[in-house]
Amino acid sequence: MYNFRKTTYLFCAIIVFLTISCEVLNAQENCTQTKEKRKFDYYFYEAMNAKAQGNYEASFDLLNHCLSIDSTNANVFYELGSYYNTLKKKNMAMDCFRKSTELDKDNFYYAMTYATYCLEFKQYDEAVEIYEELTLKYPENSELYLYLAQTYRQQGNLNRAVETLDRLEKVMGLNEKVSLQKYSLYSAIGKEEKGFAEIQKFIDKYPHEIKYYILMGNLYLQAGKNKEALQTYEKAKMLDPQDPYLISSMAEYYQKTNNGAAAENELYAALISPKMDVETKLSILTQYIGTLYQTKKNTEAANALFDTLMVQHPQEPQLNLMYGNLLMLQQKKDEARFQFQLFADANPTNPTGWEQMLSTTFPDSLKLSKEICEKAISYIPDQPVFYFYLGITEYMEQEYTTALETLKKGISYVDDEQPGLLSNFYGQIGDLYYRLEKNDSAFISYDKALRYDPNNLGVLNNYSYYLSLEKQDLDKAEQMSSLTVKAEPLNSTYLDTYGWVLFQQGAYVMAKIYIENAVKYSQENGGKVSSEVWEHYGDVLYLTGEEEKALESWVKAKEAESTEDPAEHRKSPTLDKKIETKTYIAQ
């Protein structure tokens, strides 16, 4: 007989067993998930900690480990994208930012980052989609509409860009910047009248605000509608004929309608107006000086104006700086230096004043140049440019040891992001070492200079020339010197160096061609042929069978030598003997 009770009991037992088993399994699964979550959190925290400490490689490894634990975590993909971005691996960064956005669709910053990358990759359709979604989620965020409008513009969909700005206007109300953007868009699609209507809204709303009339007039002027521009400016004059911005706009109108004298008068009136702030006057001053050039007038007409302005604004050193620059254009270096001195006295830690002062003295007055550099260093001791020019000045005064110390001190303030300046420093240091007869140190310095700038023509020339004088590494010297001649084929100094290197290699016929050209271009350019070039020319003439011309050239070298600065040209040890014996003598 079938035992129903026994069966029921057995069935209940199975149910209980299964229930307990499921609970155990769920508990185990939850436990596993909790452990994985803790493990992920730990490694992600360590990754962020490594990133904060600047240990980016360790951070990258830890992030990838996080990804092996949870391959659906948006944070990890975003951080990996940031890492790839710093490495300039844009495509990999783009993929990560896309993934982070897909995994966390509600994250505003992920979406914005990805949209920025879409714009960089010119994937405008995708960027538009992101910005459209964001404007729906965050309708009060005005920046989103601007991004969206700009994206439509880049996409070429100008009508949609206008529609987007219309939506923005409903959010924030009438706004000048937005209306100007709409004006620009309407102009681009050939609907200028609608663009002008956008500006007219402001005139209608603020009929007593002169700035909107001036703005409308300026836009008419830009569009070539000179008649409408003048009519609008006349309306502005009815509000305030002395408004300096109106006067400035009228000056531009006169310039465009070829009435230079009227334009000059308007600018002058604006500059002496007590209503205009000094910053605007500084801007208009540039325009005024430009007008003087355009009308072919003497810029000295502006000098009296500067004097007037400095009486009006005695505490504005920018006027001194600008006036000094104008005086430099007029070749009035002493007067310009006085203005630069006033600027430097008011701003002693600003290198601009000292640099401009230096431009009025170097290399004409080594004494003044030295004083300026030393004073600048006393105020701003970490500016390498003043050590550089001080070192060059001391070099020209034949204070070689002092100059070397100055340049070594100055180069310590140059960072690796200024390779050109580093190259010039090491090049000058190389020249000094050679003057001090420390040839090995000189050549090491030249090599350093060329590591920072392989195309430093001055270094390439000096290095190759000094190697030729020492008869060392002539192949290297020829390669370096050839670069200078290719870069500046009419430079007589470079031509002479290349010719002399070829001479030392025994290529006398080729050497003669280059040194002959060095003499020719020096004379054609109105320059004086140096004693070294004349002597080289004589040497190569002698060895190519033209002994009489060689002697003539050596005599010219002797004449030139007597007038040269020994800091620039060393005296030849064999020239007198060549002239006396009428014979080539190797140095």
pLDDT digits (tens, 9 = 90+) for 205-221: 999 999 999 999 999 99
User: How far is residue 575's CA from residue 54's CA, in Å, rounded to a whole number?
Assistant: 64
DSSP states along 372-402? HHHHHHHH-TT-HHHHHHHHHHHHHTT-HHH
The larger pLDDT score, comparing residue 570 to residue 474, is at: 474
Per-residue confidence band for 45, with pLDDT thresholds at 50, 70 and 90: confident
* Whether the predicted pLDDT of 511 surpasses 90: yes
Per-residue confidence band for 322, with pLDDT thresholds at 50, 70 and 90: confident
Mean pLDDT of 116-140: 91
What is each CA distance from 47 to 43, 72, 202, 524, in whole angstroms?
6, 17, 54, 69
Q: What is the largest CA-CA distance in the chain?
A: 148
Entry pTM:
0.61
Mean pLDDT of 49-68: 89
Mean pLDDT of 293-306: 70
* Whether the predicted pLDDT of 5 surpasses 60: no
What is each CA distance from 31 to 17, 35, 41, 43, 69, in whole angstroms?
21, 6, 15, 18, 15
Per-residue confidence band for 225, with pLDDT thresholds at 50, 70 and 90: very high
pLDDT for position 181: 86
Mean pLDDT of 85-101: 91
Per-residue confidence band for 295, with pLDDT thresholds at 50, 70 and 90: low
Per-residue confidence band for 18, with pLDDT thresholds at 50, 70 and 90: very low
* Whether the predicted pLDDT of 30 surpasses 70: no
Strongest mean pLDDT among 41-45, 153-157, 306-310, 382-386: 382-386
Structure tokens at 33: 């998930």
DSSP states along 78-111? HHHHHHHHHTT-HHHHHHHHHHHHHH-TT-HHHH
User: How far is residue 16's CA from residue 283's CA, in Å, rounded to a whole number?
Assistant: 90
* Whether the predicted pLDDT of 430 surpasses 60: yes
Q: Which of 431, 438, 497 is nearest to 469 (CA)?
A: 497
What is each CA distance from 528 to 370, 489, 494, 515, 557, in whole angstroms?
27, 18, 15, 15, 11
Give the H/E segment covering residue 33.
Answer: helix 4-52
User: How many other CB atoms are found less than 10 A from the CB of residue 162?
Assistant: 22
Helix-helix angle 351-359:366-379, to 10 degrees: 180
282 neighbors 322 (Cβ within 8 angstroms): yes
* Whether the predicted pLDDT of 308 surpasses 80: no
Structure tokens at 500: 């002399």
Average pLDDT, whole number, for the chain?
87
Planar angle of CA 223, 245, 275, nearest 5 degrees: 175
Give pLDDT tens digits for 374-391: 999 999 999 999 999 999
User: How many other CB atoms are found less than 10 A from the CB of residue 458?
Assistant: 17
User: How far is residue 542's CA from residue 553's CA, in Å, rounded to a whole number?
Assistant: 10
Strongest mean pLDDT among 88-97, 250-259, 443-452, 549-558: 443-452
* Whether the predicted pLDDT of 25 surpasses 50: no
Per-residue confidence band for 11, with pLDDT thresholds at 50, 70 and 90: very low
481 neighbors 450 (Cβ within 8 angstroms): no
pLDDT for position 14: 45
Quick one: CA dihedral 390, 396, 397, 399, positive or negative?
Answer: positive
Give pLDDT tens digits for 345-376: 999 999 999 999 999 999 999 999 999 999 99
pLDDT for position 293: 66
340 neighbors 320 (Cβ within 8 angstroms): yes
User: How far is residue 561's CA from residue 573's CA, in Å, rounded to a whole number?
Assistant: 12
* Whether the predicted pLDDT of 91 surpasses 50: yes
Whose tokens are 């007989």? That residue is 1
Give pLDDT tens digits for 390-426: 999 999 999 999 999 999 999 999 998 999 999 999 9
User: How far is residue 272's CA from residue 552's CA, in Å, rounded to a whole number?
Assistant: 66
* Whether the predicted pLDDT of 24 surpasses 50: no
Strongest mean pLDDT among 84-93, 126-135, 474-483: 474-483
* Whether the predicted pLDDT of 185 surpasses 80: yes
Phi, psi values for residue 18, rounded to 5°: -65, -40
Per-residue confidence band for 325, with pLDDT thresholds at 50, 70 and 90: confident
User: How many other CB atoms are found less than 10 A from the CB of residue 504?
Assistant: 19
Phi, psi values for residue 568, rounded to 5°: -100, -30
DSSP states along 479-516? HHHHHHHHH-TT-HHHHHHHHHHHHHTT-HHHHHHHHH
**Percentage above 90 pLDDT, the chain:** 51
Q: DSSP state, 301? A: G
Among 139-148, 299-308, 462-471, which is the least confidently predicted range? 299-308
